[in-house]
Amino acid sequence: MKGLLLTSYYLVYRSSFLYTGLAILLSGIILTFADASMHRLVAMLNILLMVMSALDVIKFEGKSGYDKYVLTLPVSRSNIVQSHYLFYFLVVIYGVLLSYGIFYIYDLISDTQIDGKFNSIFFGTFAVLFTGAINFPLYYIFGPEKSDSITMGSVGGAILVTIVSQDIVGYLAKLLTLSNSNDLDLYVPIIYLIIGVIAYIVSLFSAVFIYQKKEF
């Protein structure tokens, strides 16, 4: 597993540095010049930019022929899929830490404090986990040749699910908070995060099943 993770890292580490720089630059522009209502988008943007490199792993493996070569190594197909999911999840964590670091530094140097930074990070994490949950099974079905279309579709699908599910998540949060409406803003992002993790785990089992049946 460690070797598979290192291979994924070396395939995309250069683009990871590029996306990190781009995320810092765009975050600085948005936090400095955009309205406060746009600040909550910074976390989602940062995490999404970070995982772009992780989503490119399978595409690069297909172009280089590594996806065929890895099947000859003493690793199971389930380990190959798990390594992709674990690498993606580690990149999500990196994006979360980067977002928090940017928010923290901005609060130190700016007179304006960012409200709801943790909520923004939770929402961003949900959207990106759901993006990965959609992406990987489709990759294994259609192959790396359609990776760009799959990435665009999964990002759009995750954002759409986030918007459409707001009423359902809000209703669940009200049931949990009961009469204490002050906790509503706390429960909503937590519920989103839990749903995102569950969807990601279900996607992992689905992708393992698909990849084990796949013929090359």
The pTM is what? Answer: 0.86
- Residue 52 and residue 77: Cα distance in Å, rounded? 23
Question: In whole angstroms, what is the distance from residue 74 CA to residue 146 CA?
Answer: 28
Question: Taking Cα atoms as reference points, which of 160, 138, 120 lies closest to residue 39?
Answer: 120
pLDDT tens, per residue, the chain with 216 residues? 677 777 777 777 788 888 888 888 888 888 877 776 676 678 778 888 888 888 888 777 777 777 777 777 788 888 888 888 998 999 899 888 988 888 888 878 877 677 667 777 888 888 889 888 888 888 888 877 777 788 788 878 887 887 777 777 777 777 766 545 556 667 777 888 888 899 999 999 998 888 887 776
Token pair for 135: 């992406």
Q: What pLDDT is stored for residue 11 in this prediction?
A: 75
pLDDT of residue 20: 87
> In this structure, are residues 27 and 46 in contact, taking their beta carbons and an 8 Å threshold?
yes
